[in-house]
Amino acid sequence: MLNSDPTDINGLLARLQTMLGPTGFLSGADTAGYTEDWRRLYQGVTKAVLRPANTADLAEVVRLCAAAGAKLIPQGGNTGMVGAAAPAADGSELVLSLGRLNHIRDIDAADMTMTVEAGVTLKAAQDAAEAAGCLLPLSISSEGTAQIGGVLSTNAGGNNTVRYGNARDLVLGLEVVLADGQVWNGLRRLRKDNTGYCLRQLFVGAEGTLGVITAAVLKLVPRPREIEVAFCAVASPAAALEVFGHLQARDPAAIQAFEYMSGAGMALVLKNIPDTALPLAIPAAHYVLIELATPRQNAGLRDLLEEVLAPAMEEEKVLDAVIATSEAQRRAIWKLREEHSEAQKREGASVKNDVSVPVSAVPTFLAQASAACTALIPGIRVVPFGHLGDGNIHFNLEQPIDMDGAAFLARDHEIMDTVNEVVRSLDGSFSAEHGVGRLKPYMMPQWRGGAELDIMQRIKQALDPLGMLSPGRVLP
Ligand code: MLT
Ligand code: ZN
C-alpha cells in the first residue's frame, strides 16, 4: 500500500512528474490501456504510469518510490496470462512501464549474442537477429506485443522450447534495477562463468517480484536454411506422440516445434478468426503442427517428414496431412495455431490451465482431465492445445453455450483444482510457462510448500524487504 500520509504520495507524484516529463508520466485517463490484463480478468486503477526512458532514470524512480513507501508493478507488453502486470483495483500500485527502454544495444554475429533492452518487443528482437543473419529462437503467439523484459520475467516458453529451451536457457547476462534503486550490471556474454550464485536465473521467472529487468544478453543460433511445416490430422494424442517419437529417433535436432490442437479449438479458430481455413479435406478431433528446421543446406527435411508420415498414414495413426510448399502456406498453418488464444477470447469466458506433465503422460492427462471437467460442469467445452513436444498443454475450458460467463468464471478455482488433481497424479506442474502472477499464488503452499516456499520467501525478504515490487504476485 502507499504511505498512509497522502501528502507523501502527492509529493512523490509531483516529483516523478517533473523528473519524467509529459511522455514519461501518465495519469488520469491516460493510464487506460495499462490497467487491465490481456485476458480482462483484472481491472485495475493506478495513480500514475511511470515511463522512464533509460536505466538510470528507472533506478531513480525505484529509489524515490522506495523512499516514499510506494508499490510498483513493472509492466512490459502486458500480454501475460496470470495477471502479474495489471495494477490492483484499489489504486495502491503505480505502474512502471518498460516500453521506452526499447533499444537494441548490440548484436554480435560472431559471438552469437544480442544485448537488448527490456522494452524491445520480442518480434523486433527477432527481426534484428534475422537482419544480422542469426535466429533468436524464442517464439510465442504474443511476440508482436510481448516485450523482452516480460518474456524473461515470466520465463516464457512457447513454440520452440522443444528444441532451444525456455527463455531462461537463452539468457547469458542481465541488467537489473533492485528494489533499493541499485543497478546490477550483469550484462556478461560468457558461455562459461562459474563465479558464485547464478543471480541472473533468480530474476528470470520471478515475475517482477525481486527486481526490474532492464536489459539482457541473449544467445542467438544460426538461422535455419531449410524449414518444413506439416499440418496433420491424427487419430489420437497417443498417435501424435508416436509420430513425435519417430522424428526424435531420426533427427531430434531438427524438431523446432511439435504442437497439438484439438478439433474443438480448431473450430473456434475457423469460426472467430478471419482469413483462416482448414488445409485438409475433413475436420478431425486432433491435429499436430510439426516444424522441422536446420541450418544445414540440402538436409532433406521434406524427405524425412514424408518417411515418417507415410507409414503413419498407412496405419491410420495420421488421418491426413499437408506439408507447406510456400512461405505463405507456412504462415497460414501457423496462424491456425497462434490464434487459438484470441479465438477463445472472442468466444466468451474461458478458464486456462497452463499445465505440464511428462510428455508420455499427455494422452492420459487429456483423457482424465476432460472426463473430470465434464463431470464437474456438464456442457463445459474442453479446448486443449499447446506444446505437445514439451508435455505442456493449455488445458483451456470454455463456458457451456447456455451458461452465463460470469457464473462460469466464478467457478474458476473449482475448475482449476479439478484439473490440477489429475496433473498432480501424473507428477506434473500447475504452471508450465505462464507463471503464477495474481491468479495462482493460492496454489503455491500446496504445490511448493515446505522448504521450497520458505527459500522463496527468504529470497524475497532479502531482495525486497519493503515488499514494494509486484506485491501479491507469485508468493501467497
Ligand atoms: C499459447 O501457447 O498460444 C499461449 O501460451 C496459450 C494460452 O492462451 O493459453
Ligand atoms: Zn503456450
Atom of ligand 1 nearest to the CA of 158: 2
Rounded distance, CA 308 to CA 135, Å? 27
| Residue of minimum CA distance from atom 8 in ligand 1 | 341
In the 3-class helix/strand/coil scheme, how is 107-147 assigned residue by residue? EECCCCEEEEECCCEHHHHHHHHHHCCEECCCCCCCCCCCE
CA of 184 to the centre of ligand 1 (A): 32
Instruction: Report residue 311: phi and psi, to 5°.
Output: -65, -35
CA–CA–CA angle 71, 202, 106 (5° rounding): 95
Averaged pLDDT for residues 247-275: 98
Query: Which atom of ligand 1 lies nearest, measured to the CA of 394?
Result: 9
Probe residue for ligand 1, chosen from 385, 388, 431 as the CB with the greatest number of ligand atoms within 8 Å: 385
pTM above 0.85, yes or no: yes
Atom of ligand 1 nearest to the CA of 344: 8
Q: Give distance in angstroms: CA of 394 to centre of ligand 1.
A: 6
Distance 259 CA to ligand 2 centre (A): 10
Q: Which ligand is located closest to the Cα atom of residue 353?
A: 1
Q: Which of 345, 354, 355, 431 to mutate to test the pocket of ligand 1 (most atoms within 8 A of CB)?
A: 354
CA distances from 129 to 33, 96, 164, 208, 333 (A): 29, 27, 16, 26, 24
Model confidence band, residue 8 (pLDDT cutoffs 50, 70, 90)? confident
Q: Give the pLDDT of residue 350.
A: 94
The grid coordinates of residue 148 equal 523482452
Q: What is the pLDDT of residue 1?
A: 45
For residue 473, the number of C-alpha atoms closer than 13 Å in the C-beta half-sphere is 33
With a pLDDT cut of 90, the percent of the chain lying above it is: 98
What mean pLDDT is predicted for residues 342-365?
97
Q: Which residue has the cell 502527492?
A: 10
CB count, 10 Å around CB of 303?
A: 10
Ligand 1 atom at minimum distance from 386 CA: 2
Q: Which of 28, 7, 25, 11 is nearest to 64 (CA)?
A: 11
Question: Are residues 175 and 186 in contact, defined by beta-carbon separation less than 8 angstroms?
Answer: yes
Angstrom distance (rounded) from CA 131 to CA 284:
39
Q: What is the pLDDT of residue 99?
A: 98
User: What's the CA gap between 352 and 246, in Å, rounded?
Assistant: 31
- Give 270-319 pLDDT, tens digit per residue: 999 999 999 999 999 999 999 999 999 999 999 999 999 999 999 999 99
Mean pLDDT estimate for the chain:
97
Q: Tens digit of pLDDT for each residue in 360-414?
A: 999 999 999 999 999 999 999 999 999 999 999 999 999 999 999 999 999 999 9
**Ligand 1, atom 1, residue with closest C-alpha:** 141
- Considering the chain, what percentage of its residues have pLDDT values greater than 70? 99
Place of cell 514519461: 24
pLDDT reading at 334 higher than 90: yes
Q: State the cell numbers at 358.
A: 511428462
Distance 386 CA to ligand 1 centre (A): 7
User: Counting ligands in written order, which one lies closest to the CA of residue 157?
Assistant: 2
Q: Classify 121 in phi/psi space as left (phi over 0), alpha (psi -120 to 50) or beta.
A: beta
From the CA of 354, give the closest atom in ligand 1.
Answer: 9
Q: What is the 3-state secondary structure (H, E, C) of the chain?
A: CCCCCHHHHHHHHHHHHHHHHHHHEECHHHHCCCCECCCCCCECCCCCEECCCCHHHHHHHHHHHHHHCCEEEEECCCCCCCCCCCCCCCCCEEEEECCCCCCEEEEECCCCEEEEECCCEHHHHHHHHHHCCEECCCCCCCCCCCEHHHHHHCCCCCCCHHHHCCHHHHEEEEEEECCCCCEEEECCCCCCCCCCCCHHHHHCCCCCCCCEEEEEEEECEECCCEEEEEEEEECCHHHHHHHHHHHHHHCHHHEEEEEEEEHHHHHHHHHHCCCCCCCCCCCCCEEEEEEEEECCCCCCHHHHHHHHHHHHHHCCCEEEEEECCCHHHHHHHHHHHHCHHHHHHHHCCEECCEEECCHHHHHHHHHHHHHHHHHHCCCCEEEEEEEHHHCEEEEEEECCCCCCHHHHHCCHHHHHHHHHHHHHHCCCECCCCCCCCCCCHHHHHHHHCCHHHHHHHHHHHHHCCCCCECCCCCCC
Pairwise CA distance, residues 35 & 73, whole Å:
10
Distance between Cα 185 and ligand 1 center (Å): 32
C-alpha separations of 289 from 83, 167, 240, 396 in Å: 29, 22, 10, 19
Ligand 1: centre distance to CA 365 (Å): 18
Statement: residue 457 has pLDDT above 70: yes
Instruction: Return the pLDDT at 4.
Output: 45
CA of 20 to the centre of ligand 2 (A): 36
Distance CA 334, CA 357 (A): 24
Alpha carbon nearest to ligand 1 atom 9, residue: 394
Q: Which residue's C-alpha cell is 531438427? A: 254
Q: How do residues 121-152 score in pLDDT, each as one tens digit?
A: 999 999 999 999 999 999 999 999 999 999 99
Q: Which three cell numbers stand for residue 69?
A: 513507501
Q: Which residues line ligand 1 (CB under 6 A)?
A: 81, 141, 340-341, 352, 354, 386, 394, 396
Residue 233: pLDDT above 70? yes
Q: pLDDT for 74-105, tens place per residue?
A: 999 999 999 999 999 999 999 999 999 999 99
**Gap between the Cα atoms of 435 and 268, Å rounded:** 25
Q: How far does residue 129's CA lie from ligand 2's centre (Å)? A: 22
Whole-number pLDDT of residue 242: 98
